[in-house]
Amino acid sequence: MKVIAEVTKTGSESGAAIIRRFTKRVQSTKALIKVRQERYFTRKMSKLKLKRRALVSMDKRKSYEHLKKLGKIPEKVEGSHGRR
């Protein structure tokens, strides 16, 4: 993606004014919005990966419940809110 946002100095314009005009010009092209959208883009997971993830979580939950029944994992104490 190529965006041209060119600003030239007119008369006795200060450097700050040129930078201000340049940023306005870049914002008007909406180039930054597009770049930020593409920066954090993640693909959708395939059906196979979703199924495998579900199976792993089901297996972990099952083993956790089993250990909880055996008494190897203490049950949560009422009123405890974790780290504070």
Q: What is the mean pLDDT of the chain?
A: 88
- Does 84 fall in a domain? no
Report pLDDT digits (tens) over 56-69: 999 999 999 999 99
Question: Is residue 84 very low, low, confident or very high in pLDDT (cuts 50, 70, 90)?
Answer: low
- Does 83 fall in a domain? no
**Domain match, 2 and 32 both:** yes
The values of phi and psi at residue 38, to 5°, are: -75, -25
Q: Are 60 and 73 in contact (CB under 8 A)?
A: no
For the chain, the domain total comes to: 2
Which residue segment(s) compose the domain that 2 sits in?
A: 1-41
**Domain match, 16 and 30 both:** yes
Distance CA 40, CA 21 (A): 28
**Domain match, 30 and 47 both:** no
**Domain match, 54 and 31 both:** no
| pLDDT at res. 5 | 82
- Does 79 fall in a domain? no
**Is this model's pTM higher than 0.85 or not?**
no
